[in-house]
């Protein structure tokens, strides 16, 4: 007589056979913190360059970029976007690198929202 392997469907729930699964209570997953990316005003970076940076690295249209550039110019800084840590860090690095390559002292920073 050959024996076939015991299959899950063959098990019977009898006394002493607990087939229920142990489950952990669902923990609520929290959203990762977001970071504000900001441009800081200086007296040397041309306004046109700042507008170009906002269009190129933040996907803004010309009118949006111009408005934010004016805010930076008048108030000393402006938030240009809110992103996850990795995206914010990348945007800051891209802007800073681009500004240095074009010999402008433009500053871009990030802080936790």
Q: Compute CA distances 52 → 1, 13, 72, 83, whole Å.
A: 82, 70, 14, 20
62-93 pLDDT, tens digit per residue, is 999 999 999 999 999 999 999 999 999 999 99
How confident is the model at residue 28, as a pLDDT?
82
88-111 pLDDT, tens digit per residue, is 999 999 999 999 999 999 999 999
Pairwise pLDDT comparison (19 vs 36), residue with the higher score: 36
Closest CA to 112 of 31, 47, 42, 43: 31
Closest CA to 52 of 31, 66, 37: 66
How confident is the model at residue 109, as a pLDDT?
98
Q: Compute CA distances 100 → 1, 44, 55, whole Å.
A: 82, 13, 18
């Amino acid at each position: 007589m050959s024996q076939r392997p015991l299959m899950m469907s063959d098990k019977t729930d009898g006394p002493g056979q607990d087939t229920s699964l142990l489950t952990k209570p669902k923990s609520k997953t929290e959203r990762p913190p977001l970071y504000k990316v900001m441009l800081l005003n200086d007296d040397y970076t041309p306004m046109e360059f700042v507008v170009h940076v906002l269009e190129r690295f933040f996907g803004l249209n010309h009118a949006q970029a111009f408005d934010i550039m004016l805010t930076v110019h008048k108030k000393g800084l402006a938030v240009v976007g809110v992103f996850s840590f990795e995206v914010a860090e990348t945007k800051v690095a891209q802007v800073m690198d681009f500004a240095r390559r074009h010999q402008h002292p433009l500053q871009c920073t990030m802080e936790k929202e």
